Amino acid sequence: MPVSIIIQLIVDGLAMGLVYVLLASGFNLIMTVPKVLFIAYGEFYMLGAYVLWGLMFLGDVPFFPALCAATLATAILGGIVYRLIFQRIQYMEQQFLTNIIAALALSMIIAQAALLAFGTEARGMPSIFPGIVNIGGITISVEKIVLVALTLAVLIGLNIFLQKTNSGRAMRAVSFNADVAALQGVSANMTCLATMAVGCGLAGFAGGLMAPVFALSPGMGAITIFVLFVVMLGGIGSMVGAILAGLILGMTLSFGQFFIGSGLSQILFFVVIFIILYFRPGGLLGKAEADIPI
Amino acid sequence: MSSILEVRKLSKYFGGLAAVNQVDLDVVDSEILGLIGPNGAGKTTLFNLISGFFPSTSGKVIFCGRDITNLKAHNTAQLGISRTFQASTLFMKLSALANVFTGCHLGYRTGIWKRVLRMPPALEEENMLKHKAMELLEFMGLASLRDEMAGNLTHGQQRVLGVCVALAANPKLLLLDEPVTGMNPSETLTMVGLIRQIRDDRDITIMLVEHDMKVVMNLCDRIVVLNYGQNIAEGPPAEIRKNKEVIEAYLGKEGAK
Amino acid sequence: MEKPRRTYRFKRIDTHNRKSIGIIVLVVILLLVPAVVHSPYYIHLLIMVGINAALAMTFIFLLRVGLINLSIAAFWGIGAYASAMLTMRLNLPFWLALPAATIITGIVALIVGLLLCRNSGFGFIIPTLAFASVVVLVFGTFDVFGGYVGIVNIPHPEPIVIPLLPLIEFTSKTPYYYLMLFLVAVVVTAFSAFYSASTGRAWRAIGLSSSLAESLGINLFRYRLTAFIIASAVCGLMGSFYAHYYSALVPITFTPFPKTIYCHIFAILGGIAFPFAGPAVGAFILTLTPEFLRIVGEIEPILTGLLVIVLVLFAPGGILGLLSSRQQVAHPSESIDRIGKWIKASLPTSRTDRENRK
């Protein structure tokens, strides 16, 4: 087994894994701040890809502005959706289940709208960053390098945002306790809205990034379930956990696809998740839940 | 006089911290034993260990001659240990009667299929248990509230109901966790009377955790004092009242004259 | 045990009679439907409503125990595929395959449940989702199950022979309709029996406060496992029926998103305080509406999605919740409440937020 193939698989796994990390981070934000189990998340990923494609091919917009536009569009849509739907649900009883139902209904709407607008066929995009680079005997496509670089940049930026800026701190405060945050002058509603926007924007960004790499189809939203599991595996709310789990998924899919085929590797991933979550329901880095009487 | 419960060198560590540290104590049959100590002394943890809600790190718990150390909560309940909780724990969406009736769950003797198929012996038993639940409510003075949703009761009523539900499980040993906390003086008086009645009329051994010293001194036959998870004193109220270590534990070294 | 001093009156009577009459009327109407409705298309819809209603009932069944089950569609699929395999590979007659598939589904639920039911809350929900995803992948990946193309030509049930009556053959949709009614009736009866027995009370106790239930001698693991097995076996039962009714199976029918969530929607939008009427009403409205909306063509899923969102926002107790004032006793289970409290931590008490807007 030539080393170069292994390295290739690692690079692929890294690239895929980082995208999952990106998506998991956005999903994590939505789960910890407004606390919605947002199963329409994959649809925003899909929208980002299509917006990019549309702008680049129908509008002749260059890549980077189109990427920004895709991110912005999904972010705005996320904010609107939060304000109209999920903010209302927050004040009801039974939010957990209601959120899931509303999110599913939303995903139906968006997926069908995309289908009507773009048709059922998968579309490809010609490569934006063609060419390959040779590093010490290993060939890596420029595309992947750009992907990894941009993803890392955004992840680092997200981290800085959450740790250092006022808005980021507001988000973390609200995720713990909105009343206490309110004492600091933080509006929980606005923060949750902003968080939803940021989360969905991240999904759109990831979609835009992946559009040139994979084929586009309205069914791209199916990625949601993988994102959900990456988040659960890493522990809800844990950034480091999301990184670990995302990379695990990326590697499993990359190596699995090569050795045992994509179907079996997906099964393998879910079985591994099942086992890990059985022993540590809080995820790899979350706390193992203890049933303590009140 | 035999010991219904024997605790031998019982310890519980959370990480490196000992919440309960080598505790030895005996609960005598038919007595009312008080468990006191400053906040965080490990009293509720001890209850959790005895009743099986927490697994212990080391040590033994023997109930009626039987080693129950690592039995889980539902097992200890089946053997005859009932408990109440520090925070009012009830089936809030059910009526008071339904709460107590659910508590009678251990009283079923007919087979499970007979119950599901609604056969006459099962229905009779159910009726009998419902009557038992009603009687318990009367005994505790809650008969008028039988159809009220538990969540709608006042705090005092909820705590009495909590004891009533624990009684429904037919315990030999009843662990009461802060039964009168948050009650006004007249409610406290009622509860004290009820606790005494439970021991006197029904011959149930009672162990209670409480911060209200008047109640403890008044009600308990003996008292055990915990501090930092350790048993620092044991004896009748008169002795405990004068015990220097106990006073130190509560008031600090300067407070003990 | 001494005889009680007095006999207490436990209320019930009048509502009981009214309910019985209502049920009888409903049953009569249901039995007479094929006499009035002749179009096989509508009969088909009603059959699907029945299947969906039964699946939604299992959701509420487990919700009462405090468990949110995301593997409803998966067990539905296991029953369907098992039944198809039994009849096609082992040549079992349908009437044997039906109970056999149900039992097989129950056994799978037992094995999975041994692991799952030790936890509650997220520690249960997410592994059910993982399991559900694996099931669909397994059906699609391995050729023995027909892969993503699926299985076709599943045999119809053999005719029923009743002496002195003509043969009941399963050539039109009507016999399937009656079989569906029968199966749903069995499910409703079984669930009712459990709910009103001590087992049902123990389940409800676990759902409302697991610590209190445990302190009263209820073995949480055993009761959760039993409930999980029963609920999943019912899903398998409906799966077997579905396989031989529809005659074809594709894995994508049994995915957790959206099918299982649809089942949740049926129950919640019907009204979770109503363990039988809620799922029935929810399944009825939300199975039929998309069909009728199909007239407008391809935007139907968008309209249905909007309908669901509107209902969810403006009818929180479900449709039946709007019509009746019954308190939601069935649902608020402790583990879901805990999740709700966790969510509420993100909410300001509305006063503080308004003050912030100054």
Q: How many CB atoms lie within 10 A of CB C10?
A: 13
pLDDT at position C2 is 45
Residue spans of alpha helices (H) in A124-187: 142-164, 166-176, 178-183
pLDDT at residue C231 greater than cutoff 90? yes
Amino acid at site B77: A
pLDDT at residue C32 greater than cutoff 60? yes
Residue B105, Cα to own-chain centre: how many angstroms?
Answer: 18
Query: What's the whole-number mean pLDDT along residues A135-162?
Result: 83
Residues of A in contact with B87 (CB under 8 A): 294
CA dihedral (A8, A12, A14, A17) in degrees, to 10, reads: -160
Note the ipTM here: 0.90
Q: Verify whether the Cβ–Cβ distance C217 to B101 is below 8 Å.
A: no
CA dihedral (A170, A172, A174, A179) in degrees, to 10, reads: -90
Least confident range of A120-124, C65-69, C255-259: A120-124
Q: Verify whether the Cβ–Cβ distance A292 to B53 is below 8 Å.
A: yes
Instruction: Look at residues B141, B153, B210, B138 and name the one whose alpha carbon lies nearest to residue B179.
Output: B210
C112 pLDDT tier (thresholds 50, 70, 90) = very high
pLDDT at residue B257 greater than cutoff 70? no
Across-strand partners of B209? Answer: B35, B177
Query: What's the whole-number mean pLDDT along residues B230-234?
Result: 87
Please check whether residue C249 touches B, CB under 8 A: no
- Spatial separation of the C-alpha atoms in residues B215 and A45, rounded to whole Å: 64
Please check whether residue C194 touches B, CB under 8 A: yes
Q: Which of C64, C125, C126 is the best mutation test for A, with the most CBs of A within 10 A?
A: C126
Decide: A224 and A41 in contact? Cβ < 8 Å: yes
Q: Identify the three-state secondary structure at position B69.
A: coil
Instruction: Look at residues A275, A274, A276, A252 and name the one whose alpha carbon lies nearest to residue A264.
Output: A252
Q: Identify the three-state secondary structure at position A183.
A: helix
pLDDT at position B77 is 93
Least confident range of A34-38, A287-291, B191-195: A287-291
Please check whether residue A2 touches B, CB under 8 A: no
For B75, nearest residue in chain C (alpha carbons): C217
User: What is the nearest CA distance from C172 to chain A, expressed in angstroms?
Assistant: 33
pLDDT at residue C334 greater than cutoff 70? no
pLDDT at position B211 is 87
At C77-104, the pLDDT tens digits run 999 999 999 999 898 999 999 999 999 9
Decide: C186 and C179 in contact? Cβ < 8 Å: no
Q: How many CB atoms lie within 10 A of CB C146?
A: 19
Query: What's the whole-number mean pLDDT along residues B89-97?
Result: 91
User: What DSSP letter does each residue of A212-232 carry, written as one string?
Assistant: TTS-B-GGGGGGHHHHHHHHH
Return the partners of chain C (3 or more C-beta pairs < 8 Å).
A, B
Number of domains in chain B: 1
Average pLDDT, chain B: 88
Residues of A in contact with C215 (CB under 8 A): 293
Residue B135, Cα to own-chain centre: how many angstroms?
Answer: 20
C329 pLDDT tier (thresholds 50, 70, 90) = very low
Query: What's the whole-number mean pLDDT along residues B221-235?
Result: 89
Least confident range of A5-14, A15-24, B6-15: A5-14
Q: Per residue in B51-73, is it b (16+ CB within 10 Å) or e — as a string?
A: bbbbebeebebbbbeeebbebbb
For A37, nearest residue in chain C (alpha carbons): C343
Please check whether residue A33 touches C, CB under 8 A: yes
pLDDT at position C345 is 67
Decide: A93 and C316 in contact? Cβ < 8 Å: yes
Phi, psi of A60 (to 5 degrees): 60, 30
Residues of C in contact with B136 (CB under 8 A): none
B213: domain CATH number?
Answer: 3.40.50.300
Please check whether residue A112 touches C, CB under 8 A: yes
Cα-Cα-Cα-Cα dihedral sign, residues A7, A9, A15, A19:
negative
Decide: B225 and B237 in contact? Cβ < 8 Å: no
Q: Which two tokens stand for residue B251?
A: 């008031």
C48 pLDDT tier (thresholds 50, 70, 90) = very high
Q: Verify whether the Cβ–Cβ distance B83 to C327 is below 8 Å.
A: no
Contacts of A118 (CB under 8 A, 6+ apart): A50, A216, A218
For A290, nearest residue in chain B (alpha carbons): B54
Instruction: Look at residues C83, C76, C74 and name the one whose alpha carbon lies nearest to residue C131.
Output: C74
- Between the alpha carbon of residue B95 and those of residues B91, B100, B144, B146, B158, the distances in Å are 8, 9, 12, 6, 11
pLDDT at residue C357 greater than cutoff 70? no
Instruction: Look at residues C190, C147, C148 and name the one whose alpha carbon lies nearest to residue C276.
Output: C190
- Spatial separation of the C-alpha atoms in residues C258 and C269, rounded to whole Å: 16
C358 pLDDT tier (thresholds 50, 70, 90) = very low
- Spatial separation of the C-alpha atoms in residues A265 and C71, rounded to whole Å: 21
Please, is A156 exposed, middle or buried when counting C-beta atoms within 10 Å of its C-beta (0-12, 13-18, 19+)? exposed
Query: What's the whole-number mean pLDDT along residues A60-86?
Result: 91
C170 pLDDT tier (thresholds 50, 70, 90) = confident
Query: What's the whole-number mean pLDDT along residues C126-149?
Result: 88
pLDDT at position C348 is 60
**Cis-peptide into C258, omega within 30 deg:** yes
Phi, psi of B227 (to 5 degrees): -145, 130
Question: Which of C208, C216, C327 is opposite residue B169, by nearest beta carbon?
Answer: C216
pLDDT at position C355 is 44
Q: How many CB pairs under 8 A join B and C?
A: 98
- pTM attached to this predicted model: 0.89
Q: Which two tokens stand for residue B143?
A: 């008969």
Least confident range of A272-276, B247-251, C166-170: B247-251
Across-strand partners of C168? Answer: C160
Q: Strand pairing of B58-63 and B3-14?
A: antiparallel
- Between the alpha carbon of residue B138 and those of residues B92, B101, B184, B187, the distances in Å are 20, 13, 21, 16
pLDDT at position C327 is 53
Q: Identify the three-state secondary structure at position A137.
A: coil
Percent of chain A clearing pLDDT 90 (strictly above)? 25
C333 pLDDT tier (thresholds 50, 70, 90) = low
Decide: B67 and B10 in contact? Cβ < 8 Å: no
User: What is the nearest CA distance from A111 to chain C, expressed in angstroms?
Assistant: 9
Question: Which of A97, A107, A113 is opposite residue C268, by nearest beta carbon?
Answer: A97
Query: What's the whole-number mean pLDDT along residues C353-358?
Result: 41
pLDDT at position C326 is 57
Q: The domain containing residue B179 runs over which residues?
A: 3-255
At A98-116, the pLDDT tens digits run 898 999 999 999 999 988 8
At A215-261, the pLDDT tens digits run 788 888 888 999 998 988 888 777 888 888 899 888 888 888 888 88
pLDDT at residue C25 greater than cutoff 60? yes
User: What is the nearest CA distance from B190 to chain A, expressed in angstroms?
Assistant: 25
Query: What's the whole-number mean pLDDT along residues C312-339?
Result: 69
pLDDT at residue B256 greater than cutoff 80? no
Please check whether residue B71 touches C, CB under 8 A: no
Question: Which of C1, C196, C218 is opposite residue B128, by nearest beta carbon?
Answer: C1
Q: Verify whether the Cβ–Cβ distance C122 to A232 is below 8 Å.
A: yes
Average pLDDT, chain A: 84
Most confidently modeled range among A265-269, B65-69, C225-229:
C225-229
Please, is C7 exposed, middle or buried when counting C-beta atoms within 10 Å of its C-beta (0-12, 13-18, 19+)? exposed
pLDDT at residue C356 greater than cutoff 50? no
B70 pLDDT tier (thresholds 50, 70, 90) = confident
Q: Verify whether the Cβ–Cβ distance A294 to B53 is below 8 Å.
A: no
pLDDT at residue C273 greater than cutoff 90? no
pLDDT at residue C173 greater than cutoff 80? yes
A1 pLDDT tier (thresholds 50, 70, 90) = low
Instruction: Look at residues C327, C208, C257 and name the one whose alpha carbon lies nearest to residue A108.
Output: C257
Query: What's the whole-number mean pLDDT along residues B204-213?
Result: 91
Longest dimension (CA), chain A: 62
Percent of chain C clearing pLDDT 90 (strictly above)? 47
Give A294 or B19, the one with higher predicted confidence: B19
- Spatial separation of the C-alpha atoms in residues C145 and C163, rounded to whole Å: 38
pLDDT at residue B100 greater than cutoff 50? yes
C203 pLDDT tier (thresholds 50, 70, 90) = very high
